[in-house]
Amino acid sequence: MAKAKNPKGPPVPRQPMSRINYLLQASQLLHQTPVHKLSRHYIGTAKSVAKKTLVRLDPSIKRTICKRCDSLMLPGEGGRYSIENKSKGGRKRWADVLVVECQACGTAKRFPVGKDENYVPWSQRPEVVGGADGQKG
């Protein structure tokens, strides 16, 4: 009798996940220093490790990384955040789009927002603003 195959693929070992986590944390520490090119290198390395080990990065991580230049686009540090609404003079509230522009290369990412009335913009969510515990600082 043949073994049943796992449809999702093999389980991901812990080593690549811890390496990706370490590289992303190191890039955040180096982002505001004069060695910001090293921060970009760490992000590029983390992305390549994720790609080679078939690990998907969390969407919250992907939203903070520029696809073009691999720099961090955190609110107030490396990205400009604005909300656009190009629908009939901005009358449709559900057509709001969050535009995140990288200050290093000028690339813009666009995310739909305002689909429901309880929506909290990504840049204002407690886990993004203050980390895992929701506290600033």
Band the pLDDT of 20: cuts 50, 70, 90: very high
Q: Please check whether residue 47 lies inside any domain of the structure.
A: yes
| Same domain membership, residue 82 and residue 48 | no
| Same domain membership, residue 99 and residue 50 | no
| Same domain membership, residue 137 and residue 84 | yes
| Same domain membership, residue 81 and residue 53 | no
Q: Please check whether residue 127 lies inside any domain of the structure.
A: yes
* Percent of the chain whose pLDDT exceeds 90: 18
Backbone angles phi, psi at 98, to 5 degrees: -85, 120
| Same domain membership, residue 42 and residue 87 | no
Q: Please check whether residue 67 lies inside any domain of the structure.
A: no
Pick from 115, 82, 86: which is nearest to 99 by CA?
A: 82
Write down the residue that tokens 């305002």 correspond to: 114
From CA 119, how far away is CA 85, in angstroms rounded? 16
The pLDDT assigned to 134 comes to 47
pLDDT tens digits for range 95-137: 888 888 988 888 998 888 766 666 666 667 777 666 555 454 4
Number of independent structural domains in the chain: 2
Confidence check: pLDDT of 43 > 50: yes
What's the pTM? 0.65
Q: Please check whether residue 70 lies inside any domain of the structure.
A: no
The pLDDT assigned to 135 comes to 52
The pLDDT assigned to 50 comes to 93
From CA 37, how far away is CA 60, in angstroms rounded? 22
Residue by residue, what is the 3-state secondary structure of 37-60?
Answer: HHHHHHHHHHHHHHHHCCCCCCHH
Q: Which domain holds residue 93?
A: 76-137
| Same domain membership, residue 134 and residue 83 | yes
Q: Please check whether residue 6 lies inside any domain of the structure.
A: no
